[in-house]
Amino acid sequence: MMRSTLWMKWFSVLCLLCVWSVNASSAKLVFSEEGETVNALTLGVMKKQLLTHQIDIYDPQYKKNKRYLAFALHDVMALAYGKSWESKLSTDVKFVALDGYQAVSPFDKLLEQGGYIVYRDAEQPDWELIGHNQSNPGPFYMVWTGNKQTPKQAYPWPYQLAVIDTVEFKNQYPALYPQQVKETTNVFAGFKLFKDRCMKCHALDQQGGKVGPDLNAPMNILAYRSPEILREYIRQPSKFRYTQMPDHTDLSFQQIDSILEYLAYQGKAAKR
């Protein structure tokens, strides 16, 4: 009995070693949009194309200082999704681990500096086990260098990372996304302004913020307010009333007009 379990142990260690050495540079990170794969990069390819950084951080998951070899997250994203990845209209990003574990973070977090994809523990090349399940964090482990960029502050620190999946705005908020409109139009410019500046407080068709009124349901705002008043009001509501709605005097009238064009478009879209 003793002997056979010992033998089994050695055998599995041997297997692991084989798998590890074969897999080390063929370890793969998959990138997708809404679950559809758009790219897959092996460690070998990433090492060839990207700069490796040696980073020294306090790792809040190990609760100690660690030294890693890693790629800058922005470099990895640009290689995977293309150079303009930062202007992607994504709301969230999903991290899927080898064992199927998933975590979701706001996409905006990834735009910050300080994120790294670790591919090797510099002091322990076969990795140090992590978490209460004592898992092997490889092949990829995401970390942050800023001392406020911790898991407690909702920064993603997924280990055993296998898939990065971006959740697209248009699928999450279909009522806000202007369908069939080119990205070069005023309507689209208005949509982007609305998404960045207004949607945290206002909804269209009940998708979005709840602090202010819904601007499209049951009636579109332009059906009962004149555009002339609205462009003044949106830019400077404090001129009209004591209100919770903040002034937007940093926006030009041209920008406000594009928001109104967008709102009008969505009003017609809702009727189609």
Q: Give the C-alpha distances (Å, rounded to integers) separating 88 from 55, 117, 170.
A: 28, 20, 11
CA distance 154 to 157: 9
Candidate ranges 95-103, 104-112, 174-182, 242-250; the one touching ligand HEC (CB under 6 A): 242-250
Site string for ligand HEC, 11-50 (x = CB under 6 A): ----------------------------------------
- 162-181: which residues touch ligand HEC (CB under 6 A)? none
Candidate ranges 16-24, 54-62, 174-182, 243-251; the one touching ligand HEC (CB under 6 A): 243-251
CA distance 205 to 190: 17
List 3, 63, 182, 241, residue binding ligand HEC (CB under 6 A): 241
- 179-238: which residues touch ligand HEC (CB under 6 A)? 197-198, 200-202, 211-213, 215, 221, 225, 230, 233-234, 237
Q: Is residue 187 within 8 Å of 258, Cβ to Cβ?
A: yes
Q: How far is the CB of 43 from ligand HEC (least distance, A)?
A: 44
Q: How far is the CB of 183 from ligand HEC (least distance, A)?
A: 20
List 243, 252, 253, 268, residue binding ligand HEC (CB under 6 A): 243
CA distance 265 to 66: 53
> In this structure, are strands 64-72 and 36-42 parallel, antiparallel, or unpaired?
unpaired
Beta-carbon contacts of 67 under 8 Å, excluding residues fewer than 6 positions away, are: 54, 55, 56, 121, 122, 123
CA distance 182 to 170: 14
Q: Is 244 a binder of ligand HEC (CB under 6 A)?
A: yes
CA neighbor of 161 nearest in space, from 190, 125, 137:
137
- Kindly state the number of chain residues that form the binding site for ligand HEC, as judged by CB under 6 A: 22
Residues forming the site for ligand HEC (CB under 6 A) = 197-198, 200-202, 211-213, 215, 221, 225, 230, 233-234, 237, 241, 243-246, 248, 259
